[in-house]
Homo-oligomer: A and B are copies of this chain.
Amino acid sequence: MIQLVMAEGKKLILVTNDDGVHSPGLKALLESMEEVGEAVAVAPDRERSAVSHALTLHRPLRVERLKENVYSVNGTPTDCVAIGAQKLLPRKPDLIVSGINRGANLGDDVTYSGTVSAAIEGTIMGISSLAFSLMLDFPSGGSGPRHYETAGKYAGLLASFVLKNGLPYDTLLNVNVPNSPQKDVKGVRFTRQSKRIYDGSIQETMSPWGELCYWIGGGTPIWERGPDTDMDTVMGGYVSVTPIHLDFTNSAAIEWLENRWNGAG
């Protein structure tokens, strides 16, 4: 069923996202990856933002081939990675890239993000994976041009870097790029995850039948920042690259807990 002809010796790259197969960020990322290797996009048929690491288990998934190297799946980004890597591509890919997301994925956002979750799924499969996001509200304030080409350029550099060097065990890269022309980006910095502080933005709204309903969203999150965080780095005009480890164990906490538990009897 798959008629992809692989160029000799070229690296195979699976491209996905959570904004959907028709989004400009996917197009920019695919074009960038086509310069690095043999790139195949397998992406959701429509926007799947904030779906996090959701996996569709309750129904079969349909795949549509839109171009020679572009597939659409009626599922989540995680579904796309699973089906793409295991069923659609001619072999296990050398690299999985996700994005370029329309908007940043900083700090605790990584736990909600479909973009990052696609890279988590790739990492679980043992494939080097990177997530790319464009920070639309900086420096442009959300309006004006969207510099996907800048993010695409850095995606190419980082993909080549990872194909050459690999990645530390069980670790993906979460990349956030300022929304600027490439000449205004100051470079690449490796950062730690910042932390979003409790936000509390839920609006109340009435249904047509007079029921009180709740709509989550809006508000202005507060961030626990620092010069070495993803947030400050991208706000400073750099590309932020955060290595994310899939072993979430707080090892230091184990002894803390044991001492208190045993003390508690």
Contact = CB atoms under 8 A, between A and B. Distances in A.
Interface of A: 1, 49-57, 59-63, 78-79, 82-83, 86-87, 108, 110-112, 117, 120, 124-126, 161, 164-165, 167-168, 170-171, 173, 188, 190-193, 195-198, 200, 202, 204-205, 207, 211-217, 241-254, 256-258, 260-261, 264
27 contacts: A50-B54, A51-B54, A52-B52, A52-B117, A53-B53, A60-B205, A60-B213, A61-B214, A62-B211, A83-B216, A87-B202, A108-B124, A111-B117, A111-B120, A111-B124, A126-B198, A165-B264, A168-B253, A168-B257, A188-B261, A190-B258, A192-B247, A192-B249, A192-B254, A193-B247, A243-B249, A246-B248
A220 to B, nearest CB: 15
Question: Among A54, A167, A250, A261, which residue has the most Cβ atoms of chain B within 10 A?
Answer: A250
B257 A253 contact: no
Given A54-B54, A57-B50, A60-B213, A243 B253 contact: yes
